[in-house]
Structure 1
């Protein structure tokens, strides 16, 4: 089965009618600027922050609502999950920071015909 990404047991991809269309990866260099009263700020290294990922997409019909409920169930476990991309690269452990959905074109039974969604992940490092 082809997939874009797997987060624990959850699979992103067309095969599950839940493909993402955007991924933003943020890596912090660990630099801060210390303001100095009589000169330019001084740079200081305080250590690299955790990486974050924002995965976004749009899905249709009740399938999208079901998949988002699956992600919320994983989030409720409150454990870090392995993240593996479609070419087999292991991205390490990640925690689900937030799951956001925007339902539109809702029909009479409450089903959203279009569902825009965003999943925010934060890298997990063992203590």
Structure 2
């Protein structure tokens, strides 16, 4: 089965009719500024920030609503999950920080015909 990415047991991809179309990756360098009253701020290194990912897409019909419920069930476990991309690269452990869905074109039984969604992940470390 082809996949774009697997987060724990959840698979993103066309094979499950839940593919993402955007992936934003954020890596902070751990720099902060300390304000100095009489000059420019002093740069200080506080350690590398956790990486973040925002995965987003547009899905259709009740199946998309079911997939988002699956992701919410994983989020409710409150445990870090392994993230593996479609070429087999292990990205390590990640936590689900936020799930956002915007439903539109809702029919009379409450089914959204179109759902724009995002999943916000943060790297998990053991310190």
Same structural fold, with TM-score higher than 0.5 when normalized by the shorter chain: yes
Q: CA RMSD in A?
A: 0.6
- 1:33 is displaced (CA, Å) by 1.0
Q: Which residue of structure 1 lines up, in the alignment, with residue 22 of structure 2?
A: 22
For residues 36-87 of structure 1, give each alpha carbon's deviation from its aligned partner in whole angstroms, at most 9, with x where no partner exists.
Answer: 1111111100111111110000000011000000000000111000000001
Structure 2 length-normalised TM: 0.98
* Equivalent-residue separation in structure 2 for 1:93 and 1:38 (angstroms): 44
Aligned to 2:13: 13
Greater than 3 Å deviation, 4+ residue runs:
none
In the alignment, the residues of structure 2 paired with residue 30 and residue 50 of structure 1 have an alpha-carbon distance, to the nearest angstrom, of 9
Q: Deviations over 1:86-116 (max 9, x none)?
A: 0110000000001110000000110000000
Q: Secondary structure at the match of 1:87?
A: coil
Hey, what does 2:125 align to over in structure 1?
125
TM-score (norm 1): 0.98
Deviates more, 1:67-76 or 1:29-38: 29-38
Whole-angstrom CA distance in 2 between matches of 1:6 and 1:78: 17
1:38 correspondence with 2:38: yes
Distance in 2 (CA, whole Å) between partners of 1:42 and 1:75 is: 39
Q: Return the alpha-carbon distance in structure 2 between the equivalents of residues 2 and 109 of structure 1.
A: 32
Q: Specify every segment of 5 or more residues in structure 1 that has no aligned partner in the other structure, as ranges.
A: none
Q: Distance in 2 between matches of 1:28 and 1:43?
A: 14
> Helix, strand or coil: the match of 1:18?
coil
Structure 2 unaligned spans of 5+: none
Where 1:36 maps in the other structure, the secondary structure is coil
**d(CA) in 2 for partners of 1:35 and 1:126?**
31
